[in-house]
Amino acid sequence: MTTSLRVLKSAGLLLGMQLVQHRPGIISTLILARLLLPEHFGVVALVVIALQFFELLMEIGNQHYIIQKTEVTEADLNTAWNMNIVIKSTMFIFILFLVPFLADFFETPELTAAVAAITLPLGATAPNHGA
């Protein structure tokens, strides 16, 4: 198999994975659009922005490191898993500390409770593609 064909297959696989991963987000957005009052959409948008920002900070790249290795040992996987737990736990504490300041900045007190209620389950169930 040529390198270009392998790259095309990999790109197709990644695109398919992204579509499958984002399907629940699209479905939940449609459900929220039906259930929420118009004044709540601003809070939802702020929660999504805050969570995506913190999710970006949680991405440490250990998946890419493991994928690039030609031989992956159990120690590599254990280290990546432990790093994930430590980083996500630290970010959860950081989020809980920072969200009240964000709520004050955006003058939206509901933001604190919403982000705190959503952050832990999302961080705990986020797929870990490499470790």
The pTM score is 0.55
Q: How far is residue 76's CA from residue 110's CA, in Å, rounded to a whole number?
A: 41
| pLDDT at res. 115 | 67
How many residues are listed for the chain in this entry?
131
Q: Check pLDDT > 60 for residue 124.
A: no
Range 62-65 contact pairs with CB under 8 angstroms and sequence separation of 24 or more? 62/130, 62/131, 63/128, 63/129, 63/130, 63/131, 64/130, 65/130
Q: How far is residue 118's CA from residue 125's CA, in Å, rounded to a whole number?
A: 11
The percentage of residues in the chain with a pLDDT greater than 90, rounded to a whole number, is: 1
User: Structural domain boundaries of the chain?
Assistant: 1-35, 39-131
| pLDDT at res. 128 | 47
Q: Check pLDDT > 70 for residue 100.
A: yes
Structure-block tokens of residue 9: 């297959």
Taking only the tens place, the pLDDT of each residue in 45-96 is: 777 777 777 777 777 677 777 888 888 889 988 888 888 888 878 877 887 7
All residues at 6 or more sequence positions from 47 whose CB lies less than 8 Å from its CB, including other chains: 111, 114, 115, 118
Q: What pLDDT band is residue 119 in, cutting at 50, 70 and 90?
A: low
| pLDDT at res. 127 | 45
